[in-house]
Structure 1
Amino acid sequence: MSSLDQNQRLHPSCRDKTTVSSDSSDTCELAKQPLQGLKLASHAVLEKAQERGRLKCSKCGGSRMFFCYTCCSLLGVSLQEIPLITLPVKIDIIKHPNETDGKSTAIHAKILAPSDVTIYTYPCIPDYEKDEVVLVFPGPGAVSVQDMMQCLRDMTESRSHGSSDEPCIKRLKSEEVQGATHTAKNPESGNPDEAKGLESRVYPLQRVVFIDSTWNQTNKISTDERLQDLLRVELKTRKTCFWRHQKGKPDTYLATIEAIYYFLNDFHVHCLSQEYKGEYDNLLFFYSYLHSVVNKAKTAAGKC
């Protein structure tokens, strides 16, 4: 792992470079390195692979760097050389059929967290239990990650009472949630049945759905009837660092891997009630390296 000062913030969001400084050189420098302070595995293996150049995928024949985004397999890098991450919830990515594989960051999540991430190509969408699954997508009615768990519990309780129109119950006090979290994660500390019940209250979330598409193509998937009943969650305060910024879209519209990373970051703090110490930073292993490569190229070309 890369060395970090113990007091350094491990998960800074991408700062708004237009408000930090009016000096163009400072702004340019910030644009080059907005992903500082992450607790990442060494990029040395990617640097060596880049020096060797592109390789031909043995499955599809495509010329690729680091991994084949079509076949979801590593190229020039072994599985033992990259970080593998275990996630607290399962992730489903619904990919638009017209999304260009080479421009998508969804493959990063699949390679780095293979046991917990599944990619589906629309119109293939699984059948979801609405009170166990959320859709991360902005829009009217979307809630924050902080409010998500209580909303899911309300949906579960409403269904058990045979009504979906009941008002939301009062949110549990934070100390109650934290106490339940401790008991659920340590079932031996109390009655097994009670611990199991508390666990189901604290962890109703089983799966999180993300849409992988250009923002101009998302409407077809986001309005699909199979996703309509899912609670929507919005990451309102995060800003994208993606080098393929889509013209006319706000900087709060995130790349797929950014959305997954920031969701898990907030989930860890607000839902698991634990201090975040970089547990999911390696989801940005490829992304952060590619970000630095792109900005070095822009600098060399005099574009920054």
Structure 2
Amino acid sequence: MSSLDQDHCLHRGCRDKTTVSSDSSDTCKLAKQPLQGLKLASHAVLVKAQQRGRLKCSKCGGSRMFFCYTCCSLVGVSLQEIPLIKLPVKIDIIKHPNETDGKSTAIHAKILSPTDVTIYTYPCIPEFEKEKVVLVFPGPGAVSVQAMMQCLLDRTDSRSYGEPCMKRLKRDEVQDATYTDKSLESGTQNEAKGSSRVFPLQRVVFIDSTWNQTNKISTDERLQDLLQVELKMRKTCFWRHQKGKPDTYLSTIEAIYYFLTDFHEHCLSLEYNGEYDNLLFFYSYLHSVVNKAKVSAGKC
């Protein structure tokens, strides 16, 4: 891991376990503040909502806190009180039918980025243009986010000319296929120096299920032709860590967040300044609540 990656893990995600001493006081201190350096909207609205307690969802009548994971709607919190995030690509989440709604973090992304995130329940999977879509899922053929753009461009060239593009594009040609900082705000594509190359990535697919259930979805023939992307050197902070699985197995909202930060830096070639940190708005607050409860119960 490079020093840059180490800094990213320590300040915009979970602290690396190797930095934690065996001293119990250090461990408890870490549990209280597991997420560092995130640029988040104020959690005051969530604190007030938690103090009021659970309320009934106006749509389904279920007892909920903050939001209804069944109806994808806010409960006891108004839309004006939470951050809304505009994403550079569309996100499609394929949810396993047996995944417990109340335990899934996919709803966080849908609530916080309603126009850019869509949740489908398997076996419902939309039709994809394989040259413009990637599946974020580990596997023997998976590539890094850094290599993803070139692979998509090669696929597009292969389809256009009937043979693989053997020669890698120069860096400036790849940049011509990305958004500039201003174009992200305006929603237009970068027309750099007369280049007409189209930005290749339009949608990103994530699987929402326990890791023991992922095989059924990941092996579905409708996803087989998609380029697989793997997020490496990331460690989960999820309080529902699955027994027997490595800490590199991320929750859905973590995977979306880390993909977008890597995409922003390595594909858009832009300095990351917390643009997507608020995707962890609910996650970071719930994480702090869970860890405070553990400390109070003496489980830390």
Instruction: State TM-score, norm by structure 2.
Output: 0.90
Alignment-derived partner of residue 5 in structure 1: none
Measure how far apart 1:94 and its partner are.
0.1
Match of 2:119 in 1: 119
Q: How does 1:177-216 map to 2 (within 5 A)?
A: 177-178=174-175, 181=178, 185=183, 194-195=194-195, 197-198=196-197, 200=198, 203-216=199-212
- Greater than 4 Å deviation, 4+ residue runs: 8-11, 179-191
Letter in 2 for 1:55: L
Structure 1 residue identity aligned to 2:274: G
Please name the residue that 2:50 is paired with: 50
Write the deviation string for residues 149-203 of structure 1: whole angstroms up to 9, x where unpaired.
000000111111224xx3x534334344346647794879767xx34x13x1xx2
1:171 paired residue number: 168
Alpha-carbon spacing, 1:280–1:187, altered in 2? closer, same or farther (3 Å): closer
Report the equivalent of 2:155. Answer: 155
- Aligned residue among 262, 265, 269 for 1:266: 262
Assess if the C-alpha contact under 8 Å between 2:176 and 2:191 holds in 1. no
Aligned to 1:268, what secondary structure does the other structure show?
helix
State the distance in 2 between where 1:189 and 1:123 align. 39
Distance 2:133 2:191 in 1: 29
Match of 1:281 in 2: 277
Select which of 230, 246, 249 maps to 1:250: 246
Secondary structure class of the residue paired with 1:216: coil
Measured at CA, do residues 63 and 187 of structure 1 come closer, stay the same or move farther in structure 2, by a change above 3 Å? closer
> For residues 162 and 122 of structure 1, do their structure 2 counterparts lie closer, same or farther at Cα, with a shift above 3 Å needed?
same
SS in structure 2 opposite 1:131? helix
2:56–2:64 Cα contact (<8 Å) kept: yes
Report the aligned-residue RMSD: 2.2
CA distance in 1, matches of 2:39, 2:141: 34
Cα distance, 1:170–1:24 mapped onto 2, change above 3 Å: farther
CA displacement at 1:288 relative to structure 2: 0.2
CA distance 1:53–1:190, change in 2 (3 Å): closer
After superposition, the Cα gap between the structure-2 partners of 1:179 and 1:145, relative to the gap in structure 1 and judged at 3 Å, is same
Unaligned runs of 5+ in 2: 1-6
Deviations 1:208-238 (A, max 9, x none): 0000000000000000000000000000111
* Partner residue in 2 for 1:143: 143
Partner of 2:214: 218
Question: Residue type matched to 1:114 in 2?
Answer: P
Q: Which residue type is aligned with residue 106 of structure 2? A: A
Identify the residue that residue 21 of structure 2 maps to in structure 1.
21
Q: Give the 3-state SS of the residue equivalent to 2:67 in structure 1.
A: strand
Give the SS at the match of 2:279. Answer: helix
Note if contact 2:28-2:295 (Cα within 8 Å) is conserved in structure 1: no
Gap change, CA 1:189 and 1:178, over 3 Å in 2: closer
Moved more, 23-32 or 246-255: 23-32
Q: In structure 1, how many angstroms separate the alpha carbons of the residues matched to 2:257 and 2:190? A: 31
